[in-house]
Amino acid sequence: MNKFPKDFFWGGSIAAHQCEGAWQEGGKGPGIMDYCTAGSYEVPRRFTKEHEEGTLYPTHEAIDFYHRYKEDIKLFAKMGFTALRISIDWSRIFPNGDDNQPNQEGLDYYKDVIQTLIEYNIEPIVTLFHFEMPIHLVRKYNSWLNRDLINFYLKYVKTVVREYKGLVKYWVTFNEMNHIDPQSEASDFFVYMLAGLTYDELPGDKRESLATIGYNMTLAGVKATKLIREIDKNNIVGCVFGIHPIYPRDCNPVNVMNAFKEMDRDYYQIDAMCNGKFPTYKMKEYEDFGIHLEINHEDAQAFAEGKIDFIGLNYYQTGVSKTGEGNENDEKLFGGVQNPYLKQSKWGWAIDPVGMRYLLNYTYRKYGLPIMITENGLGAVDEFIDGRINDDYRIDYLKQHLREMKKAILEDHIECIGYLMWGPIDLVSATNGEMKKRYGFIYVNKYDDGSGDLSRIPKDSFYWYQNIIQIQGEEL
Ligand code: BGP
């Protein structure tokens, strides 16, 4: 049997703020990403305090999925998708985050999106936080530095999970909260995407602030997991982590150890969510750094009761350990070291299909829980030639990754339950805010200067993926 399992989820992942647009429609309040300007590989995005008139904000229109979702979902169905991961924008449901009542228009909007998916037999997989948070919660309460945020988040979660009971079964509490760790070089951008604050805005001891944000989000995640299962015992709850495995620079044992430590930093929240306990090693590490966390006596119980049912992994690239002996002359790219065995994308991301098999093995052996690849794809510049987009490079990238995933499932016996390709339709890049960095099977006529009629055009990869789904990956 050379096919993927029968009930394997084939599909894609998108996020509200990267595709919906309509930032001031339907009763939506401003979210943190609505004050994040356009950027590029060379020029980082800026985080503004107010909406600067005349400045381009990519989330404001994005690809107008808000108005075109029926057309887009129809195209996903044409490809044969059996699952689509969407996110709900918190600021469409509670425009300020601390409102007494939810915004009915927001609830109705997502209900229709979800029902449309179901009509096409596409399983909705719903992420509750994909960098979308009402900005008011940052301004008034200091974001996740304040434990009150956990209650605002749980109120929002309870509202939507009740509203879509019986329609949505698969829930994801957070996307990529692992990018905050006091030991990593905190990227300004990830601190902003997760907490709406820049690194400079973190008060007091920066490491303590990062640890607090990480702890409070993890606690919110386990509490939400329990709550979602209480609302409907059929619900299946996961959390998504963005991990790029770290290879040692050579077989010097010191460097191997360093690489392990670097990669391991991305796992403390997975440990907390799978093992029913915030890891003791992490607490001790905080003590060593003189970091003080506000912990309540009920927290331990929340961790014990909030174990997740599946792990979502976003995989794009591997890295080489930045620390180690003998690295003085290494060329740095994107804060990392280039792997001489791998090619890079135009944005400097190392293309490493085997890395995905490695990640699946590594993570499954640690926890034994089902894993879903919740994001994977190639950001590239696409061109029209003779009215057609021939994206063989994308087909090649996806084919190679799917081959390695197939080996992980059929040869390594990893319980991998789905492959959700990132950005099945071109959308705004999260890190750069660019349209130029395209991932989709479907081209969107929209450009970085804001021009374009937003029309949708299937690329060659559209028909390739359609066939792969139809034959359940048999030819890979
Ligand atoms: C992940 C995010 C996505 C997505 C992806 C690709 O970290 O979860 O939202 O955008 O990265 O990144 P980019 O859009 O910057 O190419």
Tens of pLDDT, residue by residue over 64-110, are: 999 999 999 999 999 999 999 999 999 999 999 999 999 999 999 99
In a domain, 475, yes or no: no
pLDDT in tens, 352-389: 999 999 999 999 999 999 999 999 999 999 998 888 99
Q: Ligand 1: distance of its center to the CA of 1 in Å? A: 34
Q: Is the CB of 314 under 6 A from ligand 1?
A: yes
Given a cut of 70, whether residue 425 has pLDDT beyond it is yes
Tell me phi and psi for residue 343, to 5 degrees.
-90, 160
Residues designated as active site? 176, 375
* Integer Rg of the chain from CA: 21
> How far from 338 is each of 187, 334, 432, 437, CA to CA, in Å?
19, 9, 21, 21
Tell me how many domains the chain contains: 1
Q: Ligand 1: distance of its center to the CA of 431 in Å? A: 6
The CATH number for 166's domain is: 3.20.20.80
Distance CA 108, CA 438 (A): 30
Q: Among 376, 389, 377, 386, which residue's Cα sits nearest to residue 445? A: 389
Given a cut of 60, whether residue 335 has pLDDT beyond it is no
Query: CA torsion sign, 126 to 132 to 136 to 139?
Result: positive
Helix, coil or strand: residue 464: helix
pLDDT in tens, 230-272: 999 999 999 999 999 999 999 999 999 999 999 999 999 999 9
Given a cut of 90, whether residue 41 has pLDDT beyond it is no
Per the structure block, which two tokens stand in for 158? 């309870």
Identify the domain containing residue 431 by its residue range.
9-470
What contacts 203, CB < 8 A, 6 or more positions away?
142, 145, 209
Residue 22 CB: number of other CB atoms within 10 A?
17
In a domain, 23, yes or no: yes
Give, as one character, the DSSP assignment of residue 6. Answer: T
pLDDT of residue 332: 46
Kindly provide the residue ranges of all beta strands, DSSP E only, lying in 47-100, ordered along the sequence: 83-87
Q: Ligand 1: distance of its center to the CA of 88 in Å? A: 16
Tell me phi and psi for residue 201, to 5 degrees.
-80, -10
Residue 345 CB: number of other CB atoms within 10 A?
16
Kindly provide the residue ranges of all beta strands, DSSP E only, lying in 249-393, ordered along the sequence: 310-314, 319-320, 332-333, 336-337, 343-344, 350-351, 371-375
Predicted structure pTM score: 0.97
Distance CA 180, CA 221 (A): 15
In a domain, 210, yes or no: yes
pLDDT of residue 186: 57
pLDDT, average across residues 300-325:
93
Q: Which of 20, 314, 344, 438 to mutate to test the pocket of ligand 1 (most atoms within 8 A of CB)?
A: 314
In a domain, 174, yes or no: yes
Q: Is the CB of 242 under 6 A from ligand 1?
A: yes
In a domain, 476, yes or no: no
Nearest CA to ligand 1 atom 12: 430
In a domain, 40, yes or no: yes
> How far from 2 is each of 31, 355, 404, 405, 475, CA to CA, in Å?
45, 22, 13, 13, 8
The region of weakest confidence among 101-105, 187-191, 226-230, 302-306 is 187-191
In a domain, 297, yes or no: yes
Q: Is the CB of 306 under 6 A from ligand 1?
A: no
pLDDT, average across residues 271-292:
96
Q: Which of 316, 422, 432, 436 to mutate to test the pocket of ligand 1 (most atoms within 8 A of CB)?
A: 422
pLDDT of residue 336: 65
In a domain, 375, yes or no: yes
What contacts 422, CB < 8 A, 6 or more positions away?
12, 13, 314, 316, 375, 376, 377, 439
